[in-house]
Chains A and B, each alone.
Chain A
């Protein structure tokens, strides 16, 4: 995904939900933001690789 299209707090949230659910217990929001940044980075990097 092009970084220009990323909407913070919306793009990739489904992946974060899956990850959070798989973890099996509530997570600290700061840790969650870190995970979310990783997800966004992966999305942007995937685009880069595809290019």
Chain B
């Protein structure tokens, strides 16, 4: 087979072009015959300059002239300052054109010889959908001609332009949902020749252009009247005449969502998506069982989630400078996301992977399901974290200040409030449950892994894994600052240092499962009202460390807290308690996380609580069985 193209130009240019062609052909020796083979002018010049030991600039010029002279073979491409040439093994590169007009779908919608029906109502359904979504109904040209809606064209060629005229009368084609000034504008600028054609015989020639009605013009063929409105699956109609940038600006998120769900629902899964990246499934590399086992062993050996780039470098020895690096990285991420043994715990910009059997991050004392219920108040709408700082301000500054409560300090967690959500990254995948972040302490040169649990349904989210740091350097009531860094998954945690102070602070005796006050030295600046010391909140030593499944019931926990921290003002037979909102807030946050708004909701929701200014009074429901011992424990004797 002679696959040598003919080269033009002078003898030198022909020789040079042929030499370049042979080199590029060798480069694509294993390519398909019609696949594009690209090479940059820079690379070619460098090669020839080395071969000929000539000046590179001169060689570049010679190459450019020779290849441009043979532009029938060498297709020039320019990307910024980079110039490259494309050929195929057959000669000039011609993009493949797949003939798909014979597809079944095409034949189904546009049959060559459609079967006749007696009644047009068979085609145009009169039934109304349950939901009144307005959708354009396609009626084949044949049936429209049969129904007399459009004139039949002799020769059997359907009069397609006329469909637009007939369609509004027969089918509920919706007008442009978007502001489509384009169509009327185009109608108004119809050339005079068409206007004259459109005018019926005898129409006065001096008719003003503005008075030309749309309908008469539309009765004749006019390219401007073609239907360019497409309907998205959610019923929104968009006009393809509008520039892409405009459409994206107006419908961007909706278009992306619809497109994403269309790809997910595609039975052929032609394009697969991981995060915000998409690639044809057929071109995504596969990973065998052995590869997956090696990745799993590697993760288990390192003992912490690893980034995809790290996995690729350490296991597959792929270099980021390799041309297929991004494709390989996508393949790894996509394939791992389909494996049940692996879990994606990364964020956008830091794709981390975890596997089964890795050490848990964060406290084991509270189960994830219990913590989700304890922070559920955030999903119920009692999140007041943005009262002092807007989400936009947090997002912009990348800094968030927070006062630690006893529960947060004890279990090393932070509820996933709207304020924290504004600072921390959002999930990359739709079904992502967790993300692993690294929290660094620049004051102590330490860092810890923290697990961010995203909210699901009515269960709240939280950040856990800060137990060691909190216990080593902080106390309840300390003011901490969480800041973003250049890396999307790394944050710094700082606090204001101050000279050593000693106080008797509330601690939880794990062995006895009891709360008590103990002497503690601390070096962090604190909010005095939130400092859980014996002087302010001495009664909290009587607080029972309720089991977690009871603590999730906010009302029950609050009643217990009220009975403990409240000042007894009733009698033994009819006990009543009085406490300030702040006392209740601190007390409630010893047993479970709660916002001030959630506390206000609990107090206002029950008839047992009565407000009196800034204080509340609690009257417990009459107890049926009196238990003297219990009463003694609850401590009417306030010795603090």
Residues of A whose CB lies within 8 Å of any CB of B are 2-6, 8-10, 13-14, 16-18, 20-22, 24-30, 32-34, 36-38, 40-41, 44, 47-48, 51
18 A–B contacts from the bound complex (CB under 8 Å) = A3-B227, A4-B136, A13-B266, A14-B98, A17-B280, A17-B282, A20-B279, A21-B280, A25-B330, A26-B277, A26-B326, A26-B327, A26-B330, A29-B259, A29-B277, A29-B278, A33-B248, A41-B240
Find out whether the CB atom of B276 lies under 8 angstroms from the CB atom of A8: no
CA distance A34 to B433 in the complex (A): 30
Given known contacts A32-B278, A37-B247, is B259 in contact with A8 (CB within 8 Å)? yes
Given contacts A17-B282, A20-B271, 12 further A-B contacts (CB under 8 A): A3-B229, A8-B259, A9-B259, A9-B263, A17-B280, A26-B274, A28-B276, A28-B277, A32-B278, A37-B240, A37-B244, A51-B161
Q: Are B280 and A5 in contact (CB under 8 A)?
A: no
List, in ascending order, chain B residues with CB within 8 A of A27's CB: 277-279
Taking CB as reference atom, which chain B residue is nearest A41?
B240
Shortest Cβ distance from residue B225 to the other chain A in the assembled complex, whole angstroms: 10
**Chain A residues within 8 Å of B161, by CB:** 51
B545 close to A (CB within 8 Å)? no
Task: From B197-205, B250-258, B459-467, give the one contacting chain A.
Answer: B250-258
Cβ of A24: which chain B residues have Cβ within 8 Å of it?
323-324, 327
The answer to whether A20 touches B280 (Cβ under 8 A) is: yes
Could you tell me the distance between the alpha carbons of A9 and B267 in the complex, rounded to whole angstroms?
12
Say which residue of A25, A30, A38, A44 sits within 8 Å of B226 (CB atoms): A44
CB of B150 to closest CB in A, whole Å: 13
- Report chain A residues within 8 Å CB of B228: 3, 41, 44
The reply to whether B230 and A40 contact each other, CB–CB distance below 8 Å, is yes
Q: Is B223 an interface residue (CB 8 A)?
A: yes
Q: Assess the A17–B240 pair: CB atoms within 8 A.
A: no
Residues in chain A near residue B252, CB distance under 8 A: 30, 33
Band of interface residues on B: 35 or more
Contact B240–A44 (Cβ < 8 Å): yes
Q: A24 CA to B255 CA in the complex, in Å?
A: 24
CA–CA, A38 and B248, complex, Å: 12
> Which one of A9, A26, A34, A51 lies within 8 Å of B160 (CB-CB)?
A51
Known: A20-B280, A24-B323. A29 touches B233 (CB 8 A): no
* A38 proximity list for chain B (CB < 8 A): 244
* Chain B neighbourhood of A25, CB < 8 A: 279, 326-327, 330
Q: Among the listed B221, B248, B270, B323, which residue makes an inter-chain contact with A17, where contact means beta carbons less than 8 Å apart? A: B270
Q: Is the CB of B231 within 8 A of A8?
A: yes
Task: State the CA gap A4–B330 with chains docked (Å).
Answer: 35
Contacts of B260 in A (CB 8 A): 29
| In the bound complex, CA of A4 to CA of B469 (Å) | 62
Q: In the bound complex, do residue B227 and residue A2 qualify as a contact, i.e. CB atoms below 8 Å apart?
A: yes
Determine if B31 is an interface residue (Cβ-Cβ < 8 Å): no
CB of B227 within 8 A of CB of A36, answer no
Of the candidates A4, A16, A22, A47, the one whose C-beta lies within 8 Å of that of B271 is A16
Within 8 A of A (CB), among B135-183: 136, 138, 160-161, 163, 173
Flag if B262 contacts A10 (CB, 8 Å): yes
The 3 closest A-B pairs by CB, nearest first: A9-B262, A26-B277, A26-B279
Identify the closest chain A residue to B231 (Cβ): A8
Chain B residues contacting A44 (CB-CB under 8 Å) are 226-228, 230, 240
Which of A8, A10, A20, A48 lies in contact with B278, CB distance below 8 A?
A20
| B100, A14: Cβ atoms closer than 8 Å | yes
Least CB separation from A35: chain B residue: B244
Closest to B281 in A: A17
In chain B between 486 and 517, which residues have their CB closer than 8 angstroms to a CB of chain A? Answer: none
Chain B neighbourhood of A17, CB < 8 A:
270-271, 280, 282
Chain A residues, CB < 8 A from B276: 28-30
| Residues in A neighbouring B279, C-beta threshold 8 A | 20, 25-27
A5 to B283, CA, bound (A): 29
Interchain CA distance A16-B98 in the complex, whole Å: 12
Contact of B138 among A2, A21, A41 (CB under 8 A): A2
- A8-B233, A8-B262, A9-B263 given as contacts; is B100 within 8 A of A30 (CB)? no
Task: Considering the complex, give the chain A residue whose CB is closest to the CB of B327.
Answer: A25
Assess the A33–B255 pair: CB atoms within 8 A.
yes
Cα A37 to Cα B228 with chains together (Å): 12
How far apart sit A26 and B256, CA to CA, in the bound complex (Å)? 16
State whether the Cβ of B273 lies closer than 8 Å to any Cβ in chain A: yes
Report if B232 contacts A (CB, 8 A): yes
Chain B residues within 8 Å of A13, by CB: 266, 270-271
Chain A contacts of B109 at CB under 8 A? 5
- Interchain CA distance A8-B376 in the complex, whole Å: 38
Asked if A10 contacts B266 (CB within 8 A), the reply is yes
In the assembly, what is the distance between CA of A18 and CA of B273, in Å? 16
Residues of chain B lying within 8 A (CB to CB) of residue A26: 274, 277-279, 326-327, 330
Among the listed A4, A18, A30, A40, which residue makes an inter-chain contact with B256, where contact means beta carbons less than 8 Å apart?
A: A30
In the complex where A24-B323, A33-B259 touch, is A3 in contact with B266 (Cβ < 8 A)?
no
Q: Hey, which chain B residues are within 8 Å of A29, CB to CB?
A: 256, 259-260, 273, 276-278
Most buried by B among A24, A26, A27, A47: A26
Name B271-319 residues within 8 Å CB distance of A. Answer: 271, 273-274, 276-280, 282-283
Which A-chain residue is minimally distant from B135 (CB atoms)?
A4
